[in-house]
Amino acid sequence: MSKLKKHRPTSNEVHSLLQQYQGQVTWTPRYDPISELVFTILTQHTSDSNALKAFNNLVGQFPSWQDILDADDEEVAKTIFIGGLSKIKAPRIKSVLKVIKSDTGSFNIDFLSQLTLTEAKNWLKSLPGVGPKTAAVVLAFALNMPAMPVDTHIYRVSKRLGLIGKKTDVDKAHDILEKSVDTNKVFSFHVYLIQHGRTVCKARKPLCNECVLSDKCQSAFKL
């Protein structure tokens, strides 16, 4: 007798189950928008802890964004060395600051909250080296806009659950997952999935026996 095929869960169902398991999520801003942008650039291809050290070094060394813009690339790179790829990230940060100053006349990007989500995303993605994930992080964490950042944990968990297709690339996953859940749940959905990926649905040895989603997961006990 063949096994019954599992019901593919909706994102809202996943959100509800993980909420019961993890508890309520409350949004509070981590940084102002431009600080969030610079910090997120520093997180690229490194750990959050090293990125935080690099960010603290950066703002400790340079009192203002203008000071960073005026500094030599090498001086900025030395300051953020602990974050990795400093010779790439230093000129990238300076290029982003230069474009923002040129376009807005300041280093304030709070105006993004007055745009539609698509408009805000597109503006950020027009900046040098800013992709879908970085744009979504800034909008979600600094401005409480319903953008869905997708990191390696969320991408893995979403594919295993069947929330996105096995061949869906990470860039497309942002929009698919963002639209799949109620607007007021996007931020908490991000938090739940990333926490689930870190603690239960691990890359090499997922803890299916401990997973509240295992009876709905398309990949449970198969990895």
pLDDT digits (tens, 9 = 90+) for 126-137: 999 999 999 999
Give the CA count within 13 Å in the CB-facing half-sphere of 42: 26
Q: Of 128, 143, 158, which one is at a domain's C-terminal end?
A: 143
What value does the mean pLDDT take over residues 96-112? 97
- Residue pair 82/119 in contact (Cβ under 8 Å)? The answer is no
Q: Which band of pLDDT confidence, cut at 50, 70 and 90, is reported for residue 2? A: very low
CA distances from 114 to 39, 89, 185 (A): 22, 29, 20
Question: Does residue 2 fall inside a structural domain?
Answer: no
Q: Is residue 94 within 8 Å of residue 68, measured between CB atoms?
A: yes
Q: Output DSSP code: residue 208.
A: G
Single pTM value for the model: 0.93
State whether 90 and 167 are in the same domain. no
pLDDT given at position 1: 36
SS3 221: coil
Reported confidence tier of residue 5, pLDDT bands at 50, 70, 90: low
Domain ranges, residue 180: 11-26+149-210
Domain co-membership, 131 together with 184: no
Based on the fold, state whether residues 19 and 97 are members of the same structural domain.
Answer: no
Taking a C-beta distance cutoff of 8 angstroms, is the pair 180, 65 a contact? no
Is 137 domain-assigned?
yes
Residue 91 lies inside a defined structural domain of this protein? yes
Q: Number of folded domains in the chain?
A: 2
Please choose, from the candidates 133, 96, 135, 95, the residue with its C-alpha nearest in 3D space to the C-alpha of residue 115: 135
Residue at a domain's end among 143, 167, 200: 143
Domain match, 83 and 121 both:
yes
* 22 found inside a domain: yes
In this predicted structure, what is the pLDDT of residue 7?
A: 77
Closest residue by Cα to residue 52 from 73, 78, 70, 30: 30
Question: Is residue 3 predicted with pLDDT exceeding 70?
Answer: no
Token look-up 């030395």 returns 78
Report the CATH number at residue 106.
Answer: 1.10.340.30
Percent of the chain past pLDDT 90, that is, above it, reads 95
Q: Are residues 60 and 127 in the same domain?
A: yes
Q: What is the pLDDT of residues 118-168, one digit of tens each?
A: 999 999 999 999 999 999 999 999 999 999 999 999 999 999 999 999 999
Q: Which CATH number does the domain housing residue 166 bear?
A: 1.10.1670.10
